[in-house]
Structure 1
């Protein structure tokens, strides 16, 4: 199963997002959506699971959940906007992947058998950080993530 993962769009849906996500089976948005119409447009590609971020304080984005747990491809995933707000022990909860955003810094790390993925930001460029999203490859026996970077 191929899953598209993005965060921190801050109201900007770049055309590259739609191209990069063509063919994914599910899309995860880790908060700071900024404009609910972004989720509507993403739903034209695949089902979307989204949470709110710290800028999603008014309107429909404020009604998104703060965190989300979801099973995809036989794996349990947990989405939280800021990794500092992680309020559970993923290993104890049998979560294989923790997805966060907020920092705008793409990263993939592994700790205690749990994959931690931050797709970075596809919104307005922040400092010299890259514009990026992630693809999550879920197979019954494995989980693999890759960061996809774009020109601004």
Structure 2
């Protein structure tokens, strides 16, 4: 097992996988999608780039989406993750984790609260609510990580 991983953390693509986002994700060892994928084709395209951890958001409908979990625990390297689409739906029986990922609001959030890193990568799909397009590249090495917020600019 190698000791360094690049992880693309995205959410709320709403059926749109932007070329700028794909170019970043191609450098990643894993892709994490926080829900509201809206299209099985987007999920398939992500899986062609790297292994994907994804869950169902409130806008994910249909047979393909029913197969996705509503919450997910997983590890990348030595970092323990928990993911849910809507922060309001975090399990009251939350297991011990290092990072909590959520989406839904389309608003970037990155804050360490009581030794847990809380991340919302924002939205990198269709621009909504006048909010910027952004996502996260997380570099994991051994027991530590680095967060890089990526903003997609428009003319």
Q: TM-score range by the shorter chain?
A: over 0.9
CA-atom RMSD in angstroms: 1.3
Q: Which deviates more, 127-136 or 112-121?
A: 127-136
Moved over 6 A (4+): none
Aligned partners of 2:10 and 2:143: how far apart in 1?
A: 24
Aligned partners of 1:17 and 1:88: how far apart in 2?
A: 33
Conserved? CA contact 1:6–1:120, under 8 Å: yes
Aligned partners of 2:65 and 2:20: how far apart in 1?
A: 22
Question: Residue 49 of structure 2: SS of its match in structure 1?
Answer: coil
In structure 2, stretches of 5+ residues that fail to align are none
Please give the per-residue CA displacement for 1:24-45, whole angstroms capped at 9, x wherever unaligned: 1000000000001111111121
Tell me if 1:110 matches 2:112.
yes
In structure 1, stretches of 5+ residues that fail to align are none
Aligned partners of 2:148 and 2:130: how far apart in 1?
A: 20
2:133 aligned to which of 109, 131, 134: 131
Q: CA deviation at 1:146?
A: 1.9
Matched with 1:151 is 153
2:60 aligned to which of 56, 61, 65: 56
Using the size of structure 1 for normalisation, the TM-score is 0.93
Matched with 1:12 is 16
Conserved? CA contact 2:34–2:101, under 8 Å: yes
Q: CA deviation at 1:60?
A: 0.8
Question: Residue 41 of structure 2: SS of its match in structure 1?
Answer: helix
Aligned partners of 1:131 and 1:52: how far apart in 2?
A: 20
Conserved? CA contact 1:117–1:145, under 8 Å: no
Question: Residue 32 of structure 2: SS of its match in structure 1?
Answer: strand
Query: How many residue pairs were aligned?
Result: 150
